[in-house]
Every structure is written in structure tokens, then in C-alpha cells.
Amino acid sequence: MQKFAILIGLAALLATGYASAATMTSGRPSAVLNKRDCKAVWKAAVGGGEYLTRQNAARYIVNFKLADGADQDGLITKREFKKACSKGLVKGTVIRGN
């Protein structure tokens, strides 16, 4: 019976550890933008540019390090931006005309 209680306790500990690892405390993801909104925010963020710099990203990116991708070059490309959108790492309010 004691082994069973230890096993249950360990399972609960692992489950809560996994749940806390899945949620971020710093740079927490927001709502996932749809493709149309993501495209609109990208256009607002970079205009006609090819990438979003760290200096200009604070208004649009929740967690720059996660959004920057594997290369960690300090620039967010359109591909990296789209991935960040799908992960809830892009924030922005899109205003549409009627």
C-alpha cells in the first residue's frame, strides 16, 4: 500500500511539473492570431521590410527569444513570424474598416 501511495504521489508530481513547463511565466503566449490577422500585424510591424528587429519587436512579439527561431540572429523573418503567430507569440490588434 505504501508503494502505491508513493507511485500516485510521483505521478501527481510529474503531471504538475509537465503542466507548469508547458505554461510560460515570462513572455506568456497570447491568443493565436488567424492567418489574416497575422499577415496584417506583419505588415504593420515591418511595412515593406524583410524582417523584424529586436528594437521594433516589443510592440508585436510576446517573447522575442522564442519567436526568433533556431538561428537566434536577432532578426525575425516572415517565416519565423508566421510560426510565432501559430504559437501565440504575436500580439496585436487589427482594426478593419466596415
Domain with 64 in it: 35-86
In a domain, 45, yes or no: yes
**What CA–CA distance (Å, rounded) separates 96 from 89?**
22
- Half-sphere exposure in the Cβ direction for 43 (13 Å, CA): 9
Mean pLDDT, the chain, integer:
79
In a domain, 72, yes or no: yes
pTM over 0.85: no
Virtual torsion, Cα 45, 46, 51, 56, nearest 10 deg: -50
In a domain, 93, yes or no: no
Number of domains observed in the structure of the chain: 1
In a domain, 50, yes or no: yes
In a domain, 59, yes or no: yes
Q: pLDDT band at 2, cuts 50/70/90?
A: confident
The strand pairing partners of 51, in sequence order, are 77
Say what the pLDDT of residue 17 is. Answer: 46
In a domain, 91, yes or no: no
Measuring CA to CA, which residue among 3, 52, 65, 14 is closest to residue 92? 52
Over residues 65-96, the pLDDT tens digits come to: 999 999 999 999 999 999 999 999 999 766 55
In a domain, 13, yes or no: no
